[in-house]
Amino acid sequence: MTELDLAPPGPGEARVRLHASGVCHSDLNAIDGTAETRCPAVLGHEGAGVVEEVGEGVSLVPGSRVMLSWLPACGRCDECQRGLGHLCAIAWEGMASGGLLDGRPRLSRDGEPVHHYSFLSTFAERAVVPAACCIPIPDGVPFEIAAIAGCAVATGTGAVWRTAGVRPGDRVAVIGCGGVGMSALLGAVAAGAQPVVAVDVAHAKLAAAEELGATHAVAWAGSAEATADLVRAASGGGVDYAIEATGRPEAALAAFLSTRARGAAVLVGIPAADATITLPALPIPRLERRILGSIYGSSRPDRDFPALLELYRRGRLPLDRLVSRRLPLDAVEDAFAAMRGDDALRVVLDLGGSA
């Protein structure tokens, strides 16, 4: 671990004592270069903790327990104005800078800037973040649950509820059963989808998916076509929504081929920047098959995150079952190793802090 300097919170910002951080595939994409990231940087973008200090004009009270959103929508740009805060042009531009909303990092080492990751940088004991990223959490919700709810769970459940708009009785498949895919699966089960078909290469993940409510488990059959045939057979002729949570082009093709007429492949996984997908064209008009993109579950954090935690508290969304392992901050490399393996759903870092 390394000690860094952290500037005090400026206007519209808050310093948070982090208690828990999820380890997400996007962090791994930043490490292996799949996604371009300003370096050096502190990774981590699924966090929860306690507000310690706030800057000018911030109404959050120090001592508040909060979960973090990695997308502080500006509320003013064209996308925000049409209700698409998750596509906020200002926030996405700011994210690419590796700084906060003014483009400057608050982290440094020996006077040299160290960049933020998605405004948050939660693989740390403390973070200075835009106050708009802080969503208060109720008592009784563990920090680790609030942390994963802010990325994987919001992304997966939102893809099902917000992007796709799954209704009771809709047929759903989930391709890729990691943290996001499993969250999509929980969202589909909670929404009353039937059947819910889980697809993965790893048998351990398929077994876990069945425990979480998948009605069918399909092991990746070596090709998109062969896998889609199995999904279509399991679902009685194809699904209404196939949620793709791996970012791999062959999985996107499998999602598309798994749908029935008027069905949609919902692409959630982040592909490599130069990836392309080749699809058979005829079924798009002939069967009205569709492709839907989904980022951050099309979520509005201030509205949707408290609802997620309330569903958890009422036992309707068993988010605790997504946490497969807890590690201390200095074992973050072990978390990535677990993620590259087959068995981990969500590894959570315990960042200390008093309860």
Asked if 344 and 324 count as a contact pair (C-beta separation under 8 A), the reply is yes
Q: Among residue numbers 142 through 181, which ones bind Zn ion (CB under 5 A)?
A: 151
Asked if 328 and 20 count as a contact pair (C-beta separation under 8 A), the reply is no
Residue 179 beta carbon to Zn ion: minimum distance, rounded to whole angstroms: 8
Residue 88 makes contact with Zn ion by CB under 5 A = yes
List, in sequence order, every beta strand (DSSP E) within 163-302.
172-175, 196-200, 216-219, 239-244, 259-267, 290-293
Residue 265 beta carbon to Zn ion: minimum distance, rounded to whole angstroms: 21
Q: How many amino acids of this chain bind Zn ion (CB under 5 A)?
A: 8
Residue 42 makes contact with Zn ion by CB under 5 A = no
The piece of 72-80, 107-115, 284-292, 312-320 that touches Zn ion (CB under 5 A) is 72-80
Nearest to 156 by CA among 24, 32, 260: 24
Residue 201 makes contact with Zn ion by CB under 5 A = no
Residue 182 makes contact with Zn ion by CB under 5 A = no
Residue 282 beta carbon to Zn ion: minimum distance, rounded to whole angstroms: 36
Furthest-apart CA pair in the chain: how many Å? 62
If you search the block for the tokens 């057979």, which residue do you land on? 233
Residue 26 makes contact with Zn ion by CB under 5 A = yes
Residue 89 beta carbon to Zn ion: minimum distance, rounded to whole angstroms: 6
Residue 100 beta carbon to Zn ion: minimum distance, rounded to whole angstroms: 15
| Contacts (Cβ under 8 Å, ≥6 apart) of 351 | 18, 19, 20, 21, 47, 49, 122, 124, 125, 329
- In eight-state DSSP terms, residue 347 is E
Among 74, 198, 243, 319, binds Zn ion (CB under 5 A): 74
If you search the block for the tokens 């093709």, which residue do you land on? 253
The piece of 59-67, 68-76, 277-285, 331-339 that touches Zn ion (CB under 5 A) is 68-76
Asked if 141 and 42 count as a contact pair (C-beta separation under 8 A), the reply is no
Tell me the C-alpha to C-alpha distance, in Å, between residue 326 and each of 106, 151, 156.
Answer: 28, 17, 21
- Which residue's CB is nearer to Zn ion, number 88 or number 266? 88
Pair of tokens at residue 204:
């351990």
Q: Among residue numbers 237 through 276, which ones bind Zn ion (CB under 5 A)?
A: none
- Which residue's CB is nearer to Zn ion, number 47 or number 105? 47
The piece of 18-26, 34-42, 158-166, 330-338 that touches Zn ion (CB under 5 A) is 18-26
Residue 90 makes contact with Zn ion by CB under 5 A = yes
Residue 80 makes contact with Zn ion by CB under 5 A = yes
| Contacts (Cβ under 8 Å, ≥6 apart) of 217 | 197, 198, 199, 200, 206, 207, 209, 210
- Which residue's CB is nearer to Zn ion, number 76 or number 203? 76
Which H or E element spans position 116?
strand 112-116
The piece of 66-74, 187-195, 238-246, 274-282 that touches Zn ion (CB under 5 A) is 66-74
Pair of tokens at residue 275:
């990836």
The piece of 4-12, 22-30, 250-258, 307-315 that touches Zn ion (CB under 5 A) is 22-30
Residue 77 makes contact with Zn ion by CB under 5 A = yes
Footprint on this chain of Zn ion (rule: CB under 5 A)? 24, 26, 74, 77, 80, 88, 90, 151
